[in-house]
Amino acid sequence: MSLKKLEPLLTDKLAELQQQGLCKGNEKVVTGMKAAADGFGPRYFLEGFGDKAFLRMNSNSYLGLAMHPLVIKAEAAAAEKFGTGPGAVRFISGTYRPHIELEQQLAEFHGRESAMLFSSAYTTMTGVLPQFISADTLVVSDALNHNCIINAIRLSHPASKEIYAHADIDALDKILEAYKGRVKRVCLVTDGIFSMRGDYAHLGKISACCKRHEDAYEQGIISIVDDSHGVGAFGQTGRGTEEYTQGKADILIATLGKTFGVNGGYVVSSSTVIAYLRETSPFYIYSNPITPAEAAAAGAALDVVSSNDGLRLLDKLRVFSLRLRSGLEDLGFETLPGEHPIIPILIRNTEKTTALVAHLLANNILVTGLNYPVVPQGEQEIRLQVSAEHTEKDLDCLLAKLADFRQ
């Protein structure tokens, strides 16, 4: 046995990805952190950059809870008590008290009957969606849905699949009208917050649209929403897109690895749905759960979000997000309106996007550039992400360097 015949094919494929602009390239390695000081937020050291300290504007840690003392303390205490890993999948011997307590907390946080943990939000979506799609099911998906939804649909083998134009409720309405009598069940799936743009699905309008058509389908219409970028960072109390739009998903998926600062994914729904998923989802049944220590840390993060401190952090996040949007507009950059801390700078040109990323890196600022074909031609952008860890001086520094680039 040998890889000699395979490796040249893999090399060719890598070269093809490089030519298409799809290679991610070498990952930047964080080697240390400099604590907030002198009116500036935390800075990060990277391998290969010596003593240069970088402002991170591309992190999903929206409330900075990964460094919150209560979250760290909870994880350390649980690691001391339960060890560093679960030791098995949950149905064998891998369920610990912190897993159960966290699931109860998540259900209560979202106003649902039950919750269920997965090893990541990606595996949550790919482990949940296929379990509700049969040979008699139509799947309807927003055009800008995340890759995890796209791959979950590919795993599902539905009777039919329809993609509606981004956030276009009229297009959704026409699809639901057209399929009456053709399928028994409809599964509507969408992101809550769309990760490339920071805009949101109008869940209230989507729910109303689905209700208008539901009686025409023998097994009804169910909505599955992935609000990984919304929960904890959006809405008055951090309950995400549901809170902001006054809509409610039948099945809600989110992550512990962004705002909550830990690791893992989860789903909340009715007790019947969760009981069904525990018996049918292979990504849950045959995968180790997050560690007991991670579960305890996530529980502490939930407590923070639900506290007065959490409300203060959420308010700061909203204020800073609006401040940065306003600053970008004053400089003549194109962005999108909204309150979410994902703030795109629409450059609409690959060369300029690449140049701006390089300019900011040279000035100790980390950002993420999204170029064609990762985004459609003409939609090239820089994705900025605000955190409650940032300060006014951080935003002023970023805006000053952006102004230098414009000049």
* Structure tokens that stand for 93 in this block: 């011997």
Short-list 137, 198, 136, 139, CA closest to 167: 198
Helix extents (H) in 111-256: 121-128, 147-154, 169-178, 203-213, 241-245
**Active site positions, annotated:** 195, 229, 258
**Cβ neighbours, 10 Å, residue 102:** 29
**Three-state secondary structure call for residue 389:** coil
How far is Cα 212 from Cα 398, in angstroms, rounded to an integer?
47
How far is Cα 239 from Cα 232, in angstroms, rounded to an integer?
6
State how far Cα 15 lies from the chain centre: 29
* Structure tokens that stand for 84 in this block: 């560093």
* Structure tokens that stand for 214 in this block: 């539901």
What phi and psi, each to the nearest 5 degrees, are found at residue 103?
Answer: -60, -40
Helix extents (H) in 136-221: 147-154, 169-178, 203-213
> First vs last Cα of the chain: how many Å apart?
59
